[in-house]
Amino acid sequence: MIKLMVFIDGTWLYSNLRHLAKECNQPSFYIDYGLLPQRIIEELERTAGIRNTDLVRTFLFGSYPVNYDLVDEDRARKRKDFFSLLREDYHYEVEAYPIDYQRHRILYDDRVPDNSFSPKEKCVDIALASSMLYHAAISGSYDIAIAVVGDKDYFPLFQKVRSLGKRVAVASIQQSCAKVYSNRHDELKLKDFHIIWLNDLLDKIVWTPEESLVECKSPLHIGPSQMTTTVRLRGGQPFFCDECRLKFADQKAEQLREYTSSETESKPEECDARFHSYHEGVIENLIPDRGFGFIKRADGASFFFHVTHLTNIEWEALQPGAKTRFTIIREPAGAKAGAVGEVTLISDEE
C-alpha cells in the first residue's frame, strides 16, 4: 500500500479559481472539495502507473479575515462555514490563520479606488511546509506527498522532503504555476512525477449544486417561506433567503452605527488573540421586534448581536440569561458596545 498525503495551499487555490472559470467559460467555478483529493490521486495513478494507493490525510492551509469592515460580515462568515464543511463533511485537516483587514473591505473591488491597503497574509506557506516536512520525518507516515500549490517558494521544501526519501507530486493550475514546477527537465529535482494540471480535471472536480427544500427563518420574511436553495447549511444553522439577507444587511448596518463602538484607527497589535478566540457571556437583553440584542461578557463588557449572528438557535427560542460562546470583531469603546462575529448557545450539559 502506497500512503499518500495531500497538502493544499487553500489561499492560492481560492484566488486562482478564476483561471479555471475562464477555461470552462463560466462566470465562476467552484471545486467539489469532497472529490478533489481522490480525483488528483486517480490522475497520478493513471499517469504514473502506480496502484494500491491509500489517502491517509488531506490538509488545507488557508486564512480568514478578522477586523474587517462590518459590511462584509456575510462574506467573512461564508469563509468560516467553508472551513467547517471541509472539516466535518470531508474530514480535511484545516489550518487557518487570521488576516487583519484593519477595518477595510475584504474584496479589493469593494475598496475605494485610491485605497492602498493590502492585506498581509501570514503563516499559510510556513504552515504547509512545516506540516509536510514534519510528516516526512515520521517514519511510515506517508510515501508520497501531493502538493496542490503554485507559488515557487515551496521548492526548498520539496527538495528536503525528497532528501528524506519521500516522493513528491505537484498539482497546479497552468496560468498560475511557478516555472520551477512545470519545467520538464526538473533541474532542481523537486518532484518525482509529471505535474498534474487541475485544468485537465475540470469536469471531474467541478462542484455541481444540489437543490434542497428549506424554510426562511427570518422574522422579516414576506410571502411563502418555503423555497429551494443550493446553499449548504451547517448543522443547526437557520436559513435566510437572499431578500431577507439584504434587509438584514441594511438593518444591521444601521444598528451597528447606533449601538457599537465607532470606527477608530486600529493598531496592528489590536489584531491579537482576542479576535481569534472564543468568549463567553450571557444574553443581557433582546429587542424582539428589531431582531437584535446584547451579550454581557464575564468582565461586564457588552456586545451587540443581530439575529444573523446566531449559529445554533432560532431567534424565537432565545431567552435573556442564556449562556453563549461568541467570537468578536470589535471591542467596546466608550459607552458603545462591541460587535460579535458569531454566537453559539451553550447547552447546560456542557
- Footprint on this chain of Zn ion (rule: CB under 5 A): 216, 218, 221, 241, 244
What crossing angle do the helices spanning 73-88 and 242-259 adopt, rounded to 10°? Answer: 120
Q: How far is the CB of 293 from Zn ion (least distance, A)?
A: 20
In terms of CB distance, is 239 or 275 closer to Zn ion?
239
User: Phi/psi of residue 177, each to 5°?
Assistant: -125, 130
d(CA 173, CA 147): 12
In terms of CB distance, is 114 or 250 closer to Zn ion?
250
Q: How far is the CB of 217 from Zn ion (least distance, A)?
A: 8
In terms of CB distance, is 96 or 307 closer to Zn ion?
307
Q: How far is the CB of 241 from Zn ion (least distance, A)?
A: 3
Of 259, 254, 258, 285, nearest to 338 by C-alpha is: 259
Of 51, 82, 195, 58, nearest to 132 by C-alpha is: 58
Q: How far is the CB of 218 from Zn ion (least distance, A)?
A: 4
In terms of CB distance, is 119 or 219 closer to Zn ion?
219
- The residues, ordered by sequence, that sit 6+ positions from 200 with a Cβ below 8 Å of its Cβ are 43
- The residues, ordered by sequence, that sit 6+ positions from 216 with a Cβ below 8 Å of its Cβ are 225, 227, 239, 240, 241, 244
In terms of CB distance, is 63 or 308 closer to Zn ion?
308
Q: How far is the CB of 231 from Zn ion (least distance, A)?
A: 12
Q: How far is the CB of 27 from Zn ion (least distance, A)?
A: 25
In terms of CB distance, is 224 or 235 closer to Zn ion?
224
301-319 residues labelled b (16+ CB within 10 A) or e (exposed): ebbbbbbbbbbbbebeebe
What Å distances lie between residue 230 and 207, 212, 233, CA to CA? 11, 6, 9
Amino acid at the residue 340: V
In terms of CB distance, is 244 or 295 closer to Zn ion?
244
Bridge partners for 64 per DSSP: 98
User: Length of the chain, please?
Assistant: 350
- The residues, ordered by sequence, that sit 6+ positions from 128 with a Cβ below 8 Å of its Cβ are 7, 9, 59, 61, 147, 149, 154, 157
In terms of CB distance, is 99 or 241 closer to Zn ion?
241
- Please give the DSSP secondary-structure letter assigned to residue 260: B
Q: How far is the CB of 281 from Zn ion (least distance, A)?
A: 29
Q: How far is the CB of 245 from Zn ion (least distance, A)?
A: 8
